[in-house]
Every structure is written in structure tokens, then in C-alpha cells.
Amino acid sequence: MVAITKYKYAKRIGVSKMTVTRRTATNVLLDTALKNFYGAAEEMGLDENLIAILGSSERRLEVSVPVEMDDGSIRIFRGYRVQHSTAIGPAKGGIRYHPEVDVDECEALAMLMTWKCSLAGIPYGGGKGGICCDPLTMSMKEKERMSRAFAARIAPIIGTWQDVPAPDVNTGGQEMVWFVDTISKLRGHLEPGVFTGKPIPYWGSMGRTAATGYGVATCGLELLRVLDKDPKNATVAIQGFGNVGSYTALTMVEAGAKVVAISDVTGTYYAPKGIDIKKAFEHISTHPKKLLEGFTCDGCEKKNLDDILFVECDILYPCALDGVINVKNAGDVKAKYIVEGANGPVTPDADEILTKKGVLIVPDFLANSGGVIGSYFEWAQNLSGYFWTEEEYNKRLIHIMKGNFKLVWDYSQNSSVPMRRAAFMAAIQRVADVVKLRGVFL
């Protein structure tokens, strides 16, 4: 539940008795999202009315999702869709299936999507949704019935020009097909642009699979460029070797960098002379669970799971879960730079410790925005019904990622703030400008 607290703000408007609200939340993710927003908004001197508007979400929808299970029983799941802002364009953001999904978590992530899309310069607001369920214990048929029931429940508030969901934790191309098919049947016409992240044969886009990792690596390379460092002399460690981590690794190697450590749930694989990343990529491609388990290479040493975080290297890319670098271990990180491939891998306390140590951090909603930029490309192709080649897709992605990196880097240099704060400020500014242009009506 979200609690509302009173906060005095006389200083900016010169009225001594007036109060406005600052929200706090018991949900840690939402509380952090609110604090990040209020902190950046206050630092940039944003108008109190705009702070009030952007500090609350436009819609928080909760639905029941009745599903006939394979044993004939009916279970009711709780589903959510939160639209934080549609000031710039349709809400955009994924739908996750997870036992811990609740409306506050969806709101926190929806808010982050607003800033992510704004910073990326793509014409969307922010949304997020999910179903509180354990998909690992459900059959395909149960998941299909649940996905279709959920799509029907949220149908009144989603649409190509309204809110465009996408995959997130435990959802992917198959769920998107069920969603699009259900919405299209309800509306009596095909609406491919209502969801992104679809498989290539069904209105998906070439290039989407590699997009996030490609963008994450590009941010690291841009960081080296502005610091006048040659990637050929750079050493890299990559935590998480799934979709994001593996494509990040491949791109860094192509640029000439040496990847000295990679990891996944099976442990850390460390080779100071450099890991054969193509071999590691082939290994996970043929492994039944897409894991590094059993991987070996020349001079490769197997270490413990968390050792990856403490490897001596130039760039550390945390590309797995949130909160992995926290107050307990931040002091032991030896990397000079951290580029966040995952969402929230560095906790706010750890961020403070690392920044004091002089570690430069490229924040998640800049570094991993290649995913949602890729969604924008898919949506644009769906609107025109004309598909691009993979080369066109990659060229446009890199062009946007480099521009966004430069925007944040310059902002951070000119305002003498860390890149995370700079990213928030630039993103908030763009949304606030559009709210001002459009006025307050809705």
C-alpha cells in the first residue's frame, strides 16, 4: 500500500503555509523509484505542480484472471497494468509473470519505463503489468488460457495508440502471440502493433534478439571513447550470460576488448588471458538449459558464483538480477566502470559507496534501453506494414544509443552530477516539457 506523507514546499513558491504531498511506499522498489524521481526533480528545480503530476500514475488497474486448470478446477489469478504516464505517447512496458508481482511493483517499473522511453527519445510514456502466478509450475495450456483471459481483461486500456505492452520476466514471443490474437479477435481486426516482442514470423522484427546486449555493449564502448581509452586494451567481466550478457560479450570482443570473466547460475568462468566468447556462445546455444555448465577454455578457471563481481577489470557488466551489488559487497568491487545491463543491479547504498570510490556507473535505463528502442522499431514497422533488414535495424539502434549516451554524458559533465542523476534529470525534463506544452486537462 502507498502511504501519503505531507511535505512542506514553501521555498519555491513563497507561500509559507501551503503543503504538497510526497508519496512514500512500503514496497522497496516503488519507494526507491519515488525517491529517485523526487531527488532529481528537486535538484533540477522542477515546478511543484509538475512534481505532483509526475509523482502519481495515471492508471493502476487490477483485474481478476479466471483460469480453468488442467485438472478442471478454476483458479483466480490477480493481474495488473499500471500506466504511469502517457504524456509523450502510448504507455510502453512489459508484462511479467512472477509470484511476487503486485500493483506497487508494477507502478515502480512503469515509472522507470517513462524515464527510459523519454531518455531514449522514443514517442512513448511508461507502463508495466503482470500476473501474480508461478509460470514454472503451469502447463502450456494453462499459460495460454491465463494469457488470453488477462489480455481480455486489460483490453479496454491497451491499444496501438493507447498502451503497448511487451515481454518481461517469464514472458516472451509465445505470450505476445496469444495476447495479439486475443485482442485482434475481440476487435474483429488484426492489431499487430498492440504488443511488441513478437516472433519474427508473426509481425516481429529482425535484430530484436540481440538489441539489448548490443546497446549495453555500445554504452561501454562509448564510455571508453569519451575517456580516450582504446577498447583493444580494455578488460571486461560480464555477470549473467543469458540473452543480454552473451550479446554484450560478443559485441565487446568484436570491438577488440578482452573478456576475462563470464558467469551464470553455474558459477564464474575466469581466464586472465581472455575467454573464447564464440565458444561460450556456442556452448550455451547447445546446452539444454542454455547454461555455461561444463564450459572450458584455454587457461579458464572455474570460480564461485559471486567472484565475477570482484574481478580486476576495466568494465564490469552486471547483466543478471537486481540488487547484486549492494552495501555488503560494493567495497570489494575492483572494476573501474560499471555498465548496468540488468535493471537495478546496483542498490542506492552501493551506488553511493562506488561513486565515492570513483567508479563510473552507466545507469540501467540508459544502458539497457536497446530493448525498448527495438520495440519501437517493431511497432514502427507494424504501423507501416513494411519490414526492415537487420542491417537497417542495427544501424538505427546504434545511432540512437550513441546519441543518448552523449546526452547523458554531456549533462553529467556540465552539471557535475553522476550519470544516473543526469539520466533522471534529462528524462524528467523531456516529460515535464511535454506536460507543460499540453496543459493539465488530463
Residues 136-175 that bind ligand GLU (CB under 6 A): 166, 168
Taking contact as CB under 6 A, which single stretch among the options 90-98, 183-191, 198-206, 346-354 is the one that binds ligand GLU? Answer: 90-98
CB of 437 to ligand GLU, least distance (A): 24
- Amino acid 131 reads I
Distance in Å, CB of 269 to ligand GLU, minimum: 27
Nearest approach in angstroms of CB 373 to ligand GLU is 8
| Binding pattern for the stretch 370-409 against ligand GLU, x by CB under 6 A and - elsewhere | -xx--x----------------------------------
8 A C-beta contact, residue 183 and residue 192: no
Q: How far is CA 220 from CA 217, 315, 438, in A?
A: 5, 7, 36
Q: Smaller CB distance to ligand GLU: residue 113 or 309?
A: 113
Q: Which residues are catalytic?
A: 128
CB of 59 to ligand GLU, least distance (A): 17
Interface with ligand GLU, residue 250, by CB under 6 A: no
Q: What b/e readout covers 162-191, taking b as 16+ CB neighbours within 10 angstroms?
A: ebbbbbbbbbebebbbbbbbbbeeeeeeeb
Is residue 93 a contact point for ligand GLU (CB under 6 A)? yes
Site for ligand GLU in 212-241 (CB under 6 A): none
Query: Based on the number of CB atoms within 10 Å of its own CB, is 287 exposed (0-12), middle (13-18) or buried (19 or more)?
Result: middle
Question: DSSP letters of 330-371?
Answer: GGG---SEEE--SSS-B-HHHHHHHHHHT-EEE-HHHHTTHH
State in angstroms the smallest separation of the CB of 282 from ligand GLU: 27
Q: Which is nearer to ligand GLU, 67 or 119 (CB)?
A: 119
Of 79, 89, 94, 207, which one interacts with ligand GLU (CB under 6 A)? 94
Single out the residue of 20, 129, 27, 30 nearest to residue 81, CA to CA: 129
> From the list 83, 85, 196, 429, which residue makes contact with ligand GLU (rule: CB under 6 A)?
196
Q: Which is nearer to ligand GLU, 22 or 92 (CB)?
A: 92
Cβ proximity to ligand GLU: between 80 and 310 the closer is: 80
Q: Which residue's C-beta sits nearest to ligand GLU?
A: 94
Q: How far apart are the first and last CA of the chain?
A: 25
Cα distance between residue 193 and residue 203, in whole Å: 8
Cβ proximity to ligand GLU: between 109 and 257 the closer is: 109
Stretch that binds ligand GLU, among 74-82, 149-157, 345-353, 367-375 (CB under 6 A): 367-375
Number of shown-chain residues binding ligand GLU (CB under 6 A):
9
Nearer to ligand GLU, 111 or 277 (CB): 111
Grid cell in block for residue 16: 509559507
> Out of 92, 208, 420, 421, which residue is the one contacting ligand GLU (CB under 6 A)?
92
Query: In one letter, which amino acid is 331?
Result: G
Which three three-digit cell numbers place residue 139?
A: 502447463
Bridge pairing between strands 315-318 and 235-239: parallel
Phi and psi at residue 423, in whole multiples of 5°? -65, -45
Asked whether 111 and 395 are in contact (CB, 8 A), the reply is no
Task: Tell me whether residue 22 or residue 430 sits nearer to ligand GLU (CB atom).
Answer: 430
- Stretch near ligand GLU under the rule CB under 6 A, chosen from 2-10, 89-97, 198-206, 308-316: 89-97
Contact 313, 236 (CB under 8 A): yes
C-beta closer to ligand GLU: residue 89 or 94: 94
Closer to ligand GLU by Cβ: residue 54 or 91? 91
CB of 199 to ligand GLU, least distance (A): 15
DSSP three-state, residue 3: strand
Q: Where are the alpha helices (DSSP H) in 163-241?
A: 173-187, 208-226
Q: What's the min distance (Å) between Cβ of 155 and ligand GLU?
A: 18
CB of 271 to ligand GLU, least distance (A): 31
Segment lying near ligand GLU (by CB under 6 A), choices 91-99, 179-187, 279-287, 421-429: 91-99
Query: Least distance from C-beta 139 to ligand GLU, angstroms?
Result: 24
Per-residue H/E/C for 37-106: HHHHHHHCCCCHHHHHHHCCCCEEEEEEEEEECCCCCEEEEEEEEEEEECCCCCEEEEEEEECCCCHHHH
Phi, psi of 171 (to 5 degrees): -130, 155
> Which window, 87-95, 257-265, 285-293, 404-412, contacts ligand GLU (CB under 6 A)?
87-95
Give residues in contact with ligand GLU (CB under 6 A): 92-94, 166, 168, 196, 371-372, 375
